[in-house]
Amino acid sequence: MYPELKPYVVLITGGASGLGLAAAQGFAKEGATVVIADLQEAAATRVAQQLGAQHLGLACDVAQEAQVNHVVDTVIKKYGRVDVLINCAGIADQVKPTVEQDMVHFRRLLDIHLTGTYMMTKACAVHMLKQGKGNVINVSSIAGVIGLTYRNAYSAAKAAISMITRTLGCEWAAAGIRVNAIAPGYILTPLTQAIIDEGKLDKGIVERRTPMGRMGTPRHIADAMLFLASDQAEFITGVTLPVDGGYTSWGAPSDAYHEST
Ligand SMILES: NC(=O)c1ccc[n+]([C@@H]2O[C@H](COP(=O)([O-])OP(=O)(O)OC[C@H]3O[C@@H](n4cnc5c(N)ncnc54)[C@H](O)[C@@H]3O)[C@@H](O)[C@H]2O)c1
């Protein structure tokens, strides 16, 4: 679909599961070389092997700067370049009243989502600036656009990711590096399935609150990532693109979707 992606080396954090996995499959299908950096080393390696011999799976906690730098060094030593970075690693927030929330989790969430995205982008940008070309795709969320009650750390981290997408997108625009973000709505992945199973998310309510009347699939997000990485998006930088079935556009005080409509 996008032949220009074929020679690219694409580094995907959190690529062992969910949205990152769909992105890995999507880029590999375009012929690109995919490196998965994930906390789950065995799953990262297994996914890379399933994609084919040219791909690589690496262990990485994106919240640890030394591990982030080690991953980027490994990619450069093995492939000589990094063309696309997808910052997709993430965890769910604690869903309980704020006064009962745990500071360890609050800090860990910010370390993974916000600081991890920042450190990985910074480490890759060193090489992208030398290349005179590069593409960063961050994963924000509808939570970073409209805010989700209880999910303080998550909503704040995702809003901050959208903001550094703007600042870095402008800083590096003339240097050939584009930085964009996607704000997924409710997408069915192991992360959201776990929240549904724990009774913290009601799928029926989400479907009624979404103008398109359904949860998205990981492929919806991967398709938007492929587009943003492609030359079709060459004049797009610094934006956060909602891919949410209309969720953040709905403002009326009623359900957004009715079976009969
Ligand atoms: N699924 C949704 O509905 C949805 C909506 C909006 C945003 N998001 C965001 O999309 C991203 C992916 O979510 P998902 O639903 O695919 O979840 P997922 O749990 O299926 O996948 C997340 C992956 O990130 C990895 N990971 C977690 N912590 C890490 C760390 N410290 N270092 C490296 N890897 C780590 C996990 O091992 C896992 O493979 C997250 O940033 C999430 O916040 C998801």
CA 95 to chain centre: 21
186 as an active site residue: the answer is: no
- pLDDT score at 118: 99
pLDDT in tens, 88-146: 999 999 999 999 999 999 999 999 999 999 999 999 999 999 999 999 999 999 999 99
Residue 203 lies in a domain: no
Q: Specify the pairing of strand 240-243 against strand 84-87.
A: unpaired
Whether 163 maps to a domain, the answer reads yes
Q: Give the mean pLDDT of the chain.
A: 97
Task: Report the CATH number at residue 133.
Answer: 3.40.50.720
Q: How far is CA 159 from the centre of its chain?
A: 13
- Asked whether residue 56 is assigned to any structural domain, the reply reads yes
In a domain, 126, yes or no: yes
Ligand 1 pocket at CB < 6 A: 13-14, 16-20, 38-40, 60-63, 88-91, 112, 139, 141, 184, 186-187, 189-192
Please indicate, yes or no, if residue 12 is contained in any of the structural domains: yes
168 inside domain: yes
CB 27 within 8 A of CB 5: yes
For ligand 1, atom 2: residue with the closest CA: 187
Q: Is residue 162 part of a domain?
A: yes
Question: Which of ligand 1's atoms lies nearest the C-alpha of 154?
Answer: 43
Which residues are registered as beta bridge partners of 134? Answer: 177
205 within a domain of the structure (yes/no) = no
Predicted TM-score (pTM) of the model is: 0.98
pLDDT attached to residue 260: 63
Give percent above pLDDT 70 in the chain. 99
Q: How many angstroms is it from 261 CA to the middle of ligand 1? A: 33
What single-letter amino acid sits at 179?
Answer: V
Q: How far is CA 196 from CA 152, 191, 215, in A?
A: 19, 9, 12
For residue 229, the enclosing domain spans: 3-189+218-247
Tokens representing 11 are 């580094």
Catalytic residue among 154, 186, 247, 257: 154
- pLDDT of 22-54, one tens digit each? 999 999 999 999 999 999 999 999 999 999 999
Helices (H), the chain: 18-29, 41-51, 65-79, 103-110, 116-131, 143-146, 152-171, 190-197, 203-209, 218-229
| Number of structural domains in the chain | 1
Q: Measuring CA to CA, how many Å separate 105 from each of 100, 118, 208, 245? A: 12, 19, 31, 30
Q: What is the CA radius of gyration of the chain?
A: 18
193-228: b or e for each residue (b if 16 or more CB lie within 10 Å)? eebbeeeebeeeebbebbeebebbebebbbbbbbbb
